[in-house]
Amino acid sequence: RETCLAAGAKAVYLLEEPMAVAIGMNLPVAEPVGTMVVDIGGGTTEIGIISLGGLVVKSTLRFAGDTFDQRIADYISRKFNLQIGVPTAEKIKKQIGTAWKNSPKLLQEIRGRDLQGNMQKYVLDSTQIYDALEDSLNEIIDGVRITLERSPPELTVDILERGIILAGGGALLRDIDKRFSEALKIPTIIAEDPLTCVARGCGRALEQTELLQKVVAN
């Protein structure tokens, strides 16, 4: 905030990512109901429980989309003795990755160099990517569970009824909503256009001065 003001900005508003997601989805953030948002970005996962215009409980995890990519690369190195880059791992995640063990199986051919420098190719299936991501997904789910345990009981009841909102690039992982619903026993919804809902929320907050004053971070 101080840096922006020093650079000449007339006013600076700080909006937490979960709050921006909720506003971007037109959720009732200023009302006395509980809303839970899990924003799985590149470097971090931001978890927030929102009510009456504020973040009642929030958590930040160091497990997110970049972690998924690295875990896929590490898995392929262990399983096939094949070296691939993180960008290739990200492509694999997008094409055949899944968060749910019951997802339909998909196949993809991969190429890379083994430890001797020879080019090799293998066929991956999506159950292997599920295995590669299992620990990271469990870490995020555990973080959501711990955050819920810190929530006031009346807000927990709201969340059990209204569900959890997933946003960010990590929300695009196939069937991640089914995985969360199954593990947490709570309905889980993927935000509409999860990559842009933070930006939409910031824009809407700026258009609604009264709401902006309620939801900005201190």
pLDDT at 214: 83
pLDDT at 213: 80
Segment-wise mean pLDDT, segments of 10 residues, the chain, 218 residues:
61 86 96 98 98 97 97 96 95 98 97 89 97 98 98 98 98 99 98 96 89 76
91 & 149 share domain: no
For residues 125 and 105, give the distance between their C-alpha atoms in angstroms, rounded to a whole number. 7
147 & 48 share domain: yes
157 & 211 share domain: yes
pLDDT at 1: 54
Q: What is the pLDDT of residues 39-54, one digit of tens each?
A: 999 999 999 999 999 9
Alpha helices in 150-188 (DSSP H): 153-162, 176-184
β-strand partners of 45: 40, 61
Q: Check: CB of residue 97 under 8 Å from CB of residue 133.
A: yes
208 & 153 share domain: yes
73 & 34 share domain: no
pLDDT at 4: 55
Q: Report the domain count for the chain.
A: 2
Q: For residue 109, count other CB atoms closer than 10 A to its CB.
A: 8
Residues spanned by the domain of 103: 65-132
84 & 105 share domain: yes
- Dihedrals phi, psi of 58, to nearest 5 degrees: -145, 155
pLDDT at 14: 85
Crossing angle of helices 176-184/126-149, nearest 10°?
A: 50
Please state the pTM of the whole predicted model.
Answer: 0.92
pLDDT at 115: 82
Mean pLDDT for the chain overall = 94
Distance of CA 70 to the CA centre of its chain: 16
Give the CATH number of the domain where residue 83 resides. 3.90.640.10
Nearest Cα residue to 57 out of 121, 143, 129: 143
93 & 194 share domain: no
Domain boundary residue among 106, 132, 158?
A: 132
Report which secondary-structure segment, H or E, holds 193.
Answer: none
Angle at 19 between CA 14 and CA 25, to 5 degrees: 130
190 & 89 share domain: no
Cα atoms in the Cβ-side hemisphere of radius 13 Å centred on 9: 9
